[in-house]
Chains A and B, each alone.
Chain A
Amino acid sequence: MPDIFTASDHQTDSPVPELVPVSVLESDPLAGTTTVTTTKTVTTTSDEIAESNEPRCVDDYSEVMRHEEPTKGQFHAFSPKPQNLSFSSQQKNEQILLLLRRHPITQIGWIVIAAVMLAAPLIFGFIPFFDFLLPKYQVAGVIGWYLLTLGFILQSFLTWFFNVNIITDERIIDVDFYNLLHRDVSAAKIDNIEDVTEVTGGTLQSIFDFGSVVIQTAGTQQKLEFEDIPQPAKVTRLLNELILEEEKEKIENRVN
């Protein structure tokens, strides 16, 4: 015998449980009729009442996120529901849905350069190119070279690690560290997204499934670009699902 509870929409600040009269519907499956038979008084809290107004969990409305497991590692280029991670302007109830970095294959360039830089002193060790230098200067030169290599590796890694695109249930954030001195953080509300374009092309992008997602917004920052991110089609699909959900929230007057 199913019971259908209907809670009133009004919300109280009092944490004390209150008595709300509800109608209990009793249905007769054989007769195919449903009638209101009794009126009971049940105990309910203001939290329970508010539940109907709360935003839904992302898995409820996003097909993309439903199939993704939470990411525990820190070095993924595609991290759905990342754990132990937050960002500076994150709001209290804002949930990070997806963290994106450039695809690792795009980092091959600096990795190869770093490998060559590491090997260079060994190669020049066989060629008496710097033999005319005093030994103390030769040693200082090699130390300086390895320091430069270390600095290059550190700077390249930091640029990759902190250049992130974040999609939350409310906003999209694009963090760009162009170099050690120049930083650009842009954000746009999902309501303000007007157009999402996926851009892929070329052999590498086709083989490794990465590309760019260009997001046109109605805000002051008119265009946000997620560059060289993995699985751009999936990201585009997620953004479209979020836009739809925001529209539904507006229609249903749900809290966000």
Chain B
Amino acid sequence: MFLQAIFLPGFNSFFVNVGTLDLILKWLFVIGFGLYVVFAFIVTRQISIMRSTLISTFSYLLTVVGYIHLLIAIIFFLGIILFV
């Protein structure tokens, strides 16, 4: 009953308003994806530190992978804000 109240549209329970719960759920996703963006940023920083410690030709490619990862995280973060 409680889960139905949270997740099914147009269902108003005695205790909670569905619109409010939808908003809570959306913000949980926004916070989750936001934290992931922070994690992806830390990964890029860490790659640059690791690169300076061990210098190889492959390290450059890893930096690119790190930035692509950060870009993907930002795109999905914005997607969650705008479309969910």
Contacts and interface: CB of A to CB of B under 8 A. Distances in A.
Interface of A: 74-75, 84-88, 132-134, 136-137, 140, 143-144, 147-148, 150-151, 154-155, 158, 161-162, 164, 175, 177, 180-181, 183, 185
B56 interface: yes
A3 to B, nearest CB: 46
* Residue of A74, A147, A151, A185 contacting most chain B CB atoms (<10 Å): A147
A247 B84 CA distance: 69
Interface in B1-18: 3-4, 7-9
B64 interface: no
Contact of A180 (B22, B46, B84): B46
Given A87-B55, A132-B7, A147 B76 contact: yes
B33 A144 contact: yes
A86 B55 CA distance: 5
A134 B11 CA distance: 12
Interface of B: 3-4, 7-9, 22, 25, 29, 32-33, 36, 39-40, 42-43, 46-47, 49-50, 52-58, 62, 65-66, 69, 72-73, 76, 79-80, 83-84
Contacts of B29: 137, 140, 144
Contacts of A181: 42, 46
A86 B32 CA distance: 38
A169 B69 CA distance: 38
B53 A162 contact: yes
* Consensus secondary structure, chain A interface: mixed
A85 to B, nearest CB: 5
Given A132-B8, A133-B7, A154 B43 contact: yes
B57 A88 contact: no
A162 B50 contact: yes
A107 B84 CA distance: 37
13 contacts: A74-B56, A87-B55, A88-B54, A132-B3, A132-B4, A140-B84, A143-B79, A158-B46, A161-B50, A162-B53, A180-B46, A181-B42, A183-B53
B43 A183 contact: no
A154 B69 contact: yes
Given A162-B54, A175-B53, A177-B46, 7 more contacts: A87-B53, A133-B7, A134-B22, A136-B83, A143-B79, A150-B72, A158-B62
B12 to A, nearest CB: 15
A133 B55 CA distance: 47
A75 B56 CA distance: 11
A74 B62 CA distance: 12
Contacts of A161: 50, 62
A87 B55 CA distance: 5
